[in-house]
Amino acid sequence: MTRQYELVERVLSYQPTADEAMLNRAYVYAMKAHGNQKRASGAPYFSHPLEVAAILAEMRLDDATIATALLHDTIEDTDVTRGEIDTLFGAEIGTLVDGLTKIKKLDLVTKKAEQAENFRKLLLAISSDIRVLLVKFADRLHNMRTLEHMEPAKRKIIAEETMDIYAPLAGRMGMQWLREELEDLAFRWLNPNAYVTVVERLKILRVGNQGLIDEIEGELTTKLKDAKVKGVVGGREKKPYAIWSKMERKQISLEQLSDIYAFRIVVPKVPDCYHALAVVHTTWHVVPGRFKDYISNPKQNDYQSIHTTIVGPRHQRVELQIRTELMHSIAEYGVAAHALYKDLEDKKGKNSKNGKGEVPSQDSNAYRWLRHLVGMLLDSDNPEEFLEHTKLELFQDQVFCFTPKGRLIALPRGANSIDFAYAVHTDVGNTCVGARINGRPMPLASALRNGDEVEIMCSDAQEPPAAWQNLAVTGKARSAIRRATRDAVRAQYGDLGREILDRAFRRSGKTFSEESIGEALGRLSQKTAEDVMAAVGRGELASADVMRAVFPEEGPQEPPKRRRKVKRTDEGWFGLRKVMGLKFRLPGTSGRGRPEGAGGIPIRGLRGDLPVNFADGGAVPGDRIVGILTPGQGITIYPIHADALKAFDEEPERWIDITWDIDEDDPGRFPAKIAVTAMNEPMSLAQVASVIGEADGNIENIKMTNRVADYTEMLIDLEVWDVQHLNEILAGLRAKDVVSSAARAEY
């Protein structure tokens, strides 16, 4: 266990201005607060916060963060209060400890919805001060290092959470060493057999390559020295999980991996990086397609380095990373490096240089990404979707693309022009209608590649289709599309509600206005007039209730007087047909007397002895159609666009290619289904039926699917001549004031 003086001396070694007395006070206070508490291993509980503080000291964090690490469990696990922490150590440390206490109360590893909601709370807690996240990382790392003392079931749950959230989040924060260790520790418990296999194979490989790392390091150092390039060369072996995941991803054996051993050249300044690269490339053969310049195009987590692969000594493929000392610090410690620099700058009141003429950024891209993520979750109303999209962004590698004006856009690998458009601006994504990639028109779903120049074409008349949610890769794009879809649906309901209320006002001799609605919001329990109209459109609020709220002095509204009922004769439906001018076919015949059955449906591609039926939504000439064979039942005809056909995707042997074969001299009627939303006004149904009858349509059935105070949704089974005839009927219905919408029913 780290000793008190060792911890303080380590902090003072990189932060000479650290408050030594405060660190000693936090050490003693936390040790006394935890008293005789024990961990699962049997060790004193205080050993945990002490080791967390030691990990943060290795990351060179400021004195306030180290004190927070020592105190981070006191409020949760002892009798210590937030007020005591504030009094003894100041409000800054009190706020950090309180933030960690709230995070600890979250049980992220519960049911999916709860896990997602708690992840939202985690991000909100850490977004105010990045040091909260850094202490949480160190806390998780020490817990993972001692995970063998936990029960097997809980051990597996903690390892899964680490692999799913904490390891990739550490990567996005630029802390690569932490990500690698967390992944490796989780891998050990999640897939112990694979872990042992890789470790044993690495031992065998090490024996065969004995001395290889020293040999390559020595030769690289000599070549750089001869070229008068100051640089430190280091080699390392990849972690077991990194090796295993690459084997799984590329479906190759361990011996086929070219980068089990990676080497790093750290130089003083940026020009030295390219000088060292020239030395390497002119000395050894370069492996084509294995060069990446992240100095020119940094990753979103601020990572900068040159990557290249050469065929080096012993004809061994060698992966090389070339970077400056500052780049190396940020690559290893990520936002932790920025946190320390910022703290030193704040305390000194001026920029702190690293001795090489480079000034570290005070606001890292990784932290900006975190704040963007928080902004996105505030717009999201579904925590499970948010967690899913966040995991996508955490795990995916990047591609770098450009706008026509040269702006760099970094996106996850596999992203397309839709994601690019939303990365430029939400309004650009919402109005996107097409894209040119490198000057050529391309489908919006085309995956982008490094270096692509993408030009987005927009139209103010465009709204993002809901189907784009399945095409988009980034969480930002999906969230914006979902929000735009909700807004569009809300606007439709709002328009319907406005029309309903306008009619209700006119029937009462009033003039409709949003101002009058606004004055009654309190009585209607709504926030805005738009909310009222949308609620009326959805059927959640009756227009009569709105009228009573707007004009409470007039009392209850009298129902409109009913017109005289139409007398129904003994002819039943035929009498109603005469009143409304409709035509109905007799049972057993088509519209012009053609007998029903296979012989009455003129379609090519069918055997004459098979019975033929139409699917529930019908099909009419002009539709592209397909037949589905059901043994013993015959053939069912579907339009090619019917969603119901998805059920037969795995049974291609049942699909039959058929086409229409219509006799122009003797056409027949065919079934179709339409969905109509009509206002609940006197004779509204009669007007719907009249439009269909006057257009020579044939009603077979009407089904009311949703009836509320102000409108009714219905499904109408028709018989029509063809698609053109059906479209004429739909157009006639839409032209009626009582009809809010009319469309072909989906099935």
CA neighbours closer than 13 Å in the CB half-sphere of residue 320: 33
Is 77 designated active site?
yes
Residue listed under structure tokens 């037969």: 648
Query: What is d(CA 209, CA 654) in angstroms, rounded to the nearest whole number?
Result: 59
Token pair 């058929």 is found at: 658
Question: Residue 458: phi, psi to the nearest 5?
Answer: -125, 160
Helix (H, G, I), strand (E, B) or coil at 656: strand
Apex 198 CA angle, 192 and 204, nearest 5: 135
Q: Which residue has the tokens 């993408």?
A: 454
Quote the tokens at residue 273: 């990086």
Assess whether 681 carries a catalytic annotation.
no
DSSP annotation of 618 reads B
Bridging pattern class, strands 655-657 and 670-679: unpaired
Q: What is the DSSP string of 124-189?
A: HHHHS-HHHHHHHHHHHHHHHHTGGGS-HHHHHHHHHHIIIIIHHHHHHTT-HHHHHHHHHHHHHH
Q: Kindly state the DSSP code that residue 683 receives in the 8-state scheme.
A: T
Choice among 51, 62, 77, 452 that is catalytic:
77
Taking residue 664's Cβ as centre, other Cβ atoms within 10 Å add up to 5
Q: For residue 247, how far is the Cα from the chain centroid?
A: 27
Pick the closest to residue 622 from 723, 718, 697 (CA basis): 723
**Calpha distance 690→692 (Å, rounded):** 5
Residue entry with tokens 């640089």: 231
Q: Tell me how crowded residue 161 is: count the other CB atoms within 10 A of its CB.
A: 18
Of the candidates 405, 402, 406, the residue with the CA atom closest to the CA atom of residue 417 = 402
Is residue 464 left, alpha or beta, with left meaning phi > 0 and alpha meaning psi from -120 to 50? beta
State the Cα–Cα distance between residues 328 and 354, nearest whole angstrom.
12
Distance in angstroms (rounded) separating the CA atoms of residues 718 and 724: 14
Which residue(s) pair with 311 in the sheet? 285, 317
* Contact in structure between 93 and 66 (CB atoms under 8 Å): no
Q: What is the largest CA-CA distance in the chain?
A: 111
340 three-state secondary structure: helix
Taking Cα atoms as reference points, which of 93, 173, 77 lies closest to residue 133? 173
Structure-derived torsion over alpha carbons of residues 719, 721, 724, 726, reported in degrees to the nearest 10: -10
List CB contacts of 199: < 8 A, sequence separation 6 or more: 240
Which H or E run includes 530?
helix 529-538
Find the helix or strand (DSSP H, E) in which 670 lies. strand 670-679
SS3 content of the chain, % helix, strand, coil (to 5): 50, 15, 35
Exactly one of 9, 58, 76, 623 is catalytic; name it.
76
CB atoms within 10 A of CB 219: 16
Catalytically annotated residues: 76-77
